[in-house]
Structure 1
């Protein structure tokens, strides 16, 4: 049972490797494209990372308990539609901004009721919910984009504090709060204990159902918050919103060192995984690789990481047998 952050060393070997990969990618794309190493492009990469950082944080918690949620992109889409409709109806901006995480939390609660209370495997349940939510997006949008939204939410979210944009402040606060919860409260220990062995956690007196439900609700709220920033930035909601979010989130989180089997997570690793993914996607686009290939690159990274994990575990198991 490990939380790969705040251990004896500031960063694990996995995280140092990710940081090295990021530096290599930056150096490579800076040489390959004259547009990569620019202030404007750096801003683009950071802007494109906001939603994935928030959704990735929620996915980190879900994977840590041994679950998965492939419907997060559709959850963001539904929350974004509610936000867009609120802007169009002239709802006060504060309420519009808060409606994202509220809708996300409610959808997370519904997901939890299906997965946790319904005892349906997470991958099966969230695949089914993905279809339901995607249909809901189509019906609510009527086959058309929500576009040309007013700048009320954009202006509200454009405030800065000590020179830092609001989205970066929110992300830092979200990660810091999660770090404190995982390191300094029983919730973190219970979460990782469930990920290691749900049966043992239940026998130890841990409220497994409550913790698992709470994780899905928190993840939903974070995804809804991502929808708030998405609509505030782009001022539209398209039919395909969030279509690759689940794949990107799982890939970034697993790249960062969180075990897809549960019981181990790394918040620093998630941040580095998101940055590496977005840098690769941005750099490949700048050197002429069509965006159609971005999911392919993400999928290859995910499969490669999982293959490496399996190989490493097999070697460790072999070493243990020889040691006996």
Structure 2
């Protein structure tokens, strides 16, 4: 138990490397563009990071358990539509902001039912749901945008608390709540135990089905909360909402040191991975690189990190086997 928790919460070389990469990229882009090192651009990077911070937090838990959800972008779209309709129905902003995570949790429940109860491989099940959810977005929007939404939710999440925008406070509290759940409850050790070996975890008494089910629902709720932030920021919902969210979330989480094979995760690493990704995307855009190249950069980073991590993971497995002998 202690070993699992210490691995979960350790601040090591990966986190320091990410921090160094963020600082180095910031220096390079500051030299390359006079618009990068400005307060306004820093606010833009922070704003563009909010949804990914929350979706990445959920993806961290899914990857740690040895699973994945490639449908989170469309899940965010459906949740955003629900939030938009709540605002159009004159729902109070304090209640409308909850519509996102509730809708996301409900959709996460559907995903969990397919993957966990239906025993469908996560990549296959969530790809199938991606198609279903995409059709749902098209049907609900009718090929048109929901635009000009009321400003109440924007004003609520822009309000200051302890000198910070409420949206930033909510993200910090979300990370703190997950950290506490991983640190102070059996959920953390169970999560990593299942990620390392589901069969061994089951034999040792870990409630595998319940933990996996809860993780999909929690990831859905966090992505739904990201949808509330999206609606507050842009005050519209378009057809292409969340189209790159899954790729960005997986890339940021893997950059942060969470193993795509399960059994290892870092919440701090995820947050730093999100910031590095957004700094790179923002800096390249200011340098005149078309935004269409952003998924290429993200994909290349993901492939590069996996190319380095997979051999290291295999070496770790070999060392563990020899140690057992």
TM category, shorter: over 0.9
1:94, distance to aligned residue in structure 2 (A)? 2.2
SS in 2 for 1:67: coil
Task: Compare 251-260 and 154-163 and name the one that shifted more.
Answer: 154-163
CA distance in 2, matches of 1:157, 1:316: 44
Aligned to 1:54: 54
Verify the 8 A CA contact 1:253 1:270 in the aligned structure 2.
Answer: yes
Q: Structure 1 residue runs of 4+, over 3 Å off? A: 1-7, 313-324
Q: Matches of 1:192 and 1:315 in 2, distance apart?
A: 19
Q: Which one is further off, 313-322 or 217-226?
A: 313-322
**Equivalent residue number for residue 293 of structure 1:** 293
Aligned to 1:236: 236
Contact 1:5 / 1:268 at 8 angstroms: preserved in 2? Answer: no
Please name the residue that 1:161 is paired with: 161
The Cα RMSD (Å) is 1.6
Once the two structures are superposed, the pairs formed by residues 106-255 of structure 1 within 5 Å of their partners are: 106-255=106-255
Partner of 1:280: 280
Return closer, same or farther for 1:318/1:61 CA change in 2, 3 Å cut-off.
closer
Output aligned runs, 1:282-321, within 5 Å: 282-315=282-315
Aligned length in residues: 321
Distance, in Å, in 2 between the alignment partners of 1:301 and 1:223 is 23
Q: CA deviation at 1:321?
A: 9.1
Q: What does the per-residue CA deviation read over 1:207-233, in whole Å, with 9 as the maximum and x for residues that have no partner?
A: 111100100111100000000011011
Mapped partners of 1:229, 1:168: distance in 2? 10
1:261 paired to 2:265? no
8 Å CA contact 1:4–1:12 kept in 2: the answer is no
C-alpha distance in structure 1 between counterparts of 2:9 and 2:191, whole Å: 17
Change (3 A) 1:322 1:114: closer
Contact 1:64 1:192 in 2 (8 A): yes
Distance in structure 2 (CA, Å) of the matches to 1:234 and 1:115 = 33
| Alpha-carbon separation, structure 2, partners of 1:15 and 1:289 | 28
2:66 equivalent in structure 1: 66
Measure, in 2, the Cα distance between the counterparts of 1:42 and 1:104: 29
CA drift at 1:269 = 0.4
User: What secondary structure sits across from 1:264 in the alignment?
Assistant: coil
Superposition deviation, residue 322 in structure 1 = 9.6
* Deviations 1:101-144, CA, capped at 9 Å, x for gaps: 00000000110000000000000000000111011001100000
How many angstroms apart in 1 are the aligned matches of 2:23 and 2:170? 25
Cα offset for 1:152?
1.4
CA offset at residue 311 of structure 1? 2.6
How big is the shift at 1:320? 7.8
1:14 aligns with 2:14: yes
Query: TM-score w.r.t. structure 1 length?
Result: 0.95
CA contact (8 A) 2:115 2:121 kept: yes
What's the counterpart of residue 80 of structure 1?
80
Indicate if the aligned counterparts of 1:3 and 1:266 stay in contact, CA closer than 8 A.
Answer: no
| Shift in alpha-carbon separation, 1:139–1:260, aligned structure 2, 3 A | same
Task: For 2:314 and 2:216, locate their aligned partners in 1 and report how far apart those are by CA, in whole Å.
Answer: 31
